[in-house]
Amino acid sequence: MVRQRNNQNQNNQRTRYFLPRGEYVNRTDFHNTFSKQLGIPLDKNDMDNDRVLLLYSESKAYPKSNTNSNTNSNSEKSNIDDENGNRMIPLNDAIENCDFMHVVLTNPDRHKQCIAIMGQYESYHVHRFMRMPMPSKPQPINSSYPLRYVPRGMQQNGRITHKVPSNKYQTMYWNDLMNYKSSLVLSSKEDGSTDNNLSVMEELDPILRTVAATDGSNESNKNNNNNTVIILVCNFGQSELLMNFICNANSKGLSNLLNNIILFATDLETHELATSMGLHSYYSERIFSNMPKEAAKEYADDTFRLMMFAKVYCVHIVSQLGYDFLFQDVDVIWYKNPLDWFHNETNPDYHFDMFFQDDGSRALFYAPYAANTGFYYVRNNERTKYFFHSLLMSGDLIMATYSHQIALNTLLSEHVSIYGLSVKICDRNDIEFPGGYWYHERHDLMKQYIVSSSSSSSSSSLSWTDNKDNKVRFMEQMGEWYLEETCKSVSRNNIINNTAAAAAADHGIMNSNNSTGNSASTIRQHCCAVTPLMKCHYRDKPSRIPCHDSIPIDEDGKSFW
């Protein structure tokens, strides 16, 4: 008890020292030295957000190299002034006596904000208070109410971003999870024997060994040295996007890289299409029998939500089997081998465990990482294995929010903090992996991107797009659509029956989970156009050709060109 009282007294005394001494340092310097290690996407500096404030807990932590420049009116002039006349000291001087440093990230645009630092048993969460009524129905923030404790997902309009999974969702997911887990490893009978059927893990591992060992660029065992596979998930409703992805990669000379893909087909029709186009494909009725075959009509509808579980299952299995992987949606376009960027050991970001494309959104439910779950790379280790196990166990949250992106972003912060998982978000303005944020919000960058013929990018995606039909239209007017009309949303058998060339090639097509069709080149020749099938749809969306005469898709949408 005496020791505890002494510690409490010491905390109370030290808290007094926080206010008398503070220093400003350059925000860019601070990010490059410290917050860059967090992997967060850095928002742009501006006139009101170009500095970082450092507070010191005691005099022993004070800088020795500079007198205090921000709390002592008689101080000497700092040796750094920014263009706005703000006094700062060099970062190395500011931290020279800091043995510990906590970094708090907060929205600089939030008005009338107070930040409290309290000496106490340590907490690694930021606790939020807002002036709001007691929860009954959503009401916006109002200065007439007292400050009360609110969850981190509370928005200023009184609505909460993270829904608590109800008992209904917990029970529903528990049943699905039991089915999934039982399919991974076969249970022994009382006599110690097992069924003759292979478990999903036993079926899949030899396929993944083949995919990881495949030479994707005519260099012996290049990708096998990195133990990497590329994961796609697709149902029949999205199959035309999958087939266009194959045709598009083929047009750019990347057909060899397709050998490094493992497609998780959630229905037999998609599996047959994929193998006929030359992909390694895996279909398990035990896992995917309840998955929808149709495409989602819009973001976060029931079909969309169910397909999110397929995306969770596949990365969990591959992670548990010990492979590095690149996961991507079927609306991604390749311009060069994206694996080269992640495998480049001279890349200053090479050491991170996980890399995500920046979603672009800064909504509360994605904070602070805004990781896009349609394109990300994972290095296999104990931290990432446990992360995807935790994501698997969060299925009730996915059901409640209709999004595995919310669940994944929620888990990122905890695993970074607790287990030291290192996460890198590729900046939303970076040309290496542009996404929907560029296409819909940054038309200035899109014009540069089009003029440069995308030569500086590894890939791009059409996130932020409501449905498949609009993705197809956007790809058509961007000159990225190569799939012939006769092969859109058509089963493999119909392609074979309706086309003499494909029918003649049918002898080589195989239905096994372990193989691809050796007539893939013939099927590709029939379904894939040599040049892009370009067509205008919307004048207010980026296009490689002017679409002045087309309608706008957005209200009051201005012409892109």
Residue 361 near residue 436 (C-beta atoms within 8 A) = no
Q: Residue 186 has what pLDDT?
A: 64
Q: Residue 68 has what pLDDT?
A: 52
Q: For residues 505 and 130, what is the distance between their CA atoms, to the nearest angstrom?
A: 67
**Of 208-217, 360-369, 529-538, the least confident:** 208-217
**Of 88-92, 96-100, 318-322, 495-499, the least confident:** 495-499
Sign of CA dihedral 66, 70, 72, 73: positive
Q: Residue 67 has what pLDDT?
A: 52
**Of 5-14, 362-371, 430-439, 481-490, the least confident:** 5-14
Bridge-partner residues for 232, per DSSP?
263
Give tens-digit pLDDT for 318-341: 999 999 999 999 999 999 999 999
Task: Please identify, in words, the CATH class of the domain defined by 200-215+225-417.
Answer: alpha beta
Sequential DSSP letters for 228-261: EEEEEEE-GGGHHHHHHHHHHHHHTT-GGGGGGE
At 507, phi and psi to the nearest 5?
-60, -25
The candidate with the shortest Cα–Cα distance to 377, out of 443, 308, 326, is 326
Domain boundaries, the chain: 17-64+79-123, 200-215+225-417
Q: Helix (H) and strand (E) counts for the chain? A: 19, 15
* pTM to 2 decimal places: 0.86
Q: Read off the amino acid at residue 485.
A: E
Q: Residue 339 has what pLDDT?
A: 95
Give tens-digit pLDDT for 376-429: 999 999 999 999 999 999 999 998 888 899 999 999 999 999 999 999 999 888
Cis peptide before 368 (omega within 30 of 0): yes
Q: Residue 73 has what pLDDT?
A: 37
- Give the mean model confidence (pLDDT) for residues 30-54: 90
- Give the mean model confidence (pLDDT) for residues 526-539: 95
Q: For residues 338 and 357, what is the distance between their CA atoms, to the nearest angstrom?
A: 12
Give tens-digit pLDDT for 264-306: 999 999 999 999 999 999 999 999 988 888 887 777 678 888 8
Coil, helix or strand at residue 527: helix
Coil, helix or strand at residue 265: strand
User: What is the band of 185 on the pLDDT scale with cuts at 50, 70, 90?
Assistant: confident
Coil, helix or strand at residue 203: helix
> Does the pLDDT of residue 514 top 80, yes or no?
no
